[in-house]
Amino acid sequence: MTGDKTIMISAALCFLLGSCTLNEENVNCYEANLFASINLLTTTKIDSTKLSCNNKDFRFFNESFICMDTTISTHFITDTISQLGKYTCSRDYPLWYAYHFFSTPFNKIELESTKLNLIIYGSEIEQKIDISEFISGGQITNIITEKDTVNWFSQDENFVVPYFSDYKSPLLSIRLGCRDGYCFATLPITESEFCYDHSL
């Protein structure tokens, strides 16, 4: 596990679960506008995806598979594909593929001045999309396949909840437009700052 990934996961657990006791001597706080949450959501199977930032590549460090469990009305289950079989997935509802990237000061991406490309690999295609204008600090940005937007924006609850407890309904997000078959929508990160205990 990389150092950046360890820091991100540790911080996520601290903020969401409130389970960490921070050691004030080792704590550094950073304004929320230095962070961005980026999610790629599609019902089309893709092999992998990554971000390219000024010719440096970053992997999406969390990959999820989401289905409607027919035993729990209108609830979605997120799990790895290998364990998805234990749920009773609705045949009338598509399987979603979700990829998540959390940009922090530690991976040194200058959100306001960096050119960001999303690269998507499929069985027969490699697609490169410039997403720079849609990504900004202090925002959760969802990138949805254009053909899936009606489905996505009709959801009452957001079934992708990476790190942030106040993750509102897709209907409340601000739609930024579409490009190259993908549409972009944002929600604000409601925390004003994130504090990290670097001794963890």
Query: pLDDT of 54-94, one tens digit each?
Result: 777 887 777 888 887 777 665 677 777 777 776 777 777 78
Sort strands 36-42 and 139-145 into parallel, antiparallel or unpaired: parallel
Count of C-beta atoms within a 10 Å radius of residue 170: 23
Can you spell out the DSSP letters for 158-187? Answer: -S--SS-S----GGGSEEEEEETTEEEEEE
Task: Evaluate if residue 30 carries a pLDDT over 80.
Answer: yes
pLDDT digits (tens, 9 = 90+) for 101-144: 888 777 777 766 678 889 998 877 789 999 988 988 888 899 99
Q: Where are the domains of the chain?
A: 35-192
The residue ranking higher by pLDDT, 39 or 110, is 39
DSSP-derived letter for residue 89 is B
pLDDT score at 183 = 96
Strands of 174-179's sheet, edge to edge?
A: 76-79, 62-68, 96-103, 36-42, 139-145, 182-188, 174-179
Tell me the backbone φ, ψ of residue 54, rounded to 5 degrees. Answer: 50, 50
Q: What is the pLDDT of residue 137?
A: 87
Residue 160 has pLDDT above 70, yes or no: yes
Output the pLDDT for position 198.
65
Q: What's the token pair of residue 154?
A: 């009709």
Say what the pLDDT of residue 1 is. 39
Chain segment 5-16, per-residue pLDDT in tens? 444 444 443 443
Average pLDDT rounded to a whole number, residues 167-181: 87
* Predicted local confidence at residue 15, as pLDDT: 41
Mind listing the pLDDT tens digit for each residue in 84-110?
776 777 777 788 888 888 887 777 777
| Strand-pair category, 126-130 with 116-121 | antiparallel
Most confident listed range (27-41, 83-97, 99-113, 164-178): 27-41
- Read off the pTM: 0.79
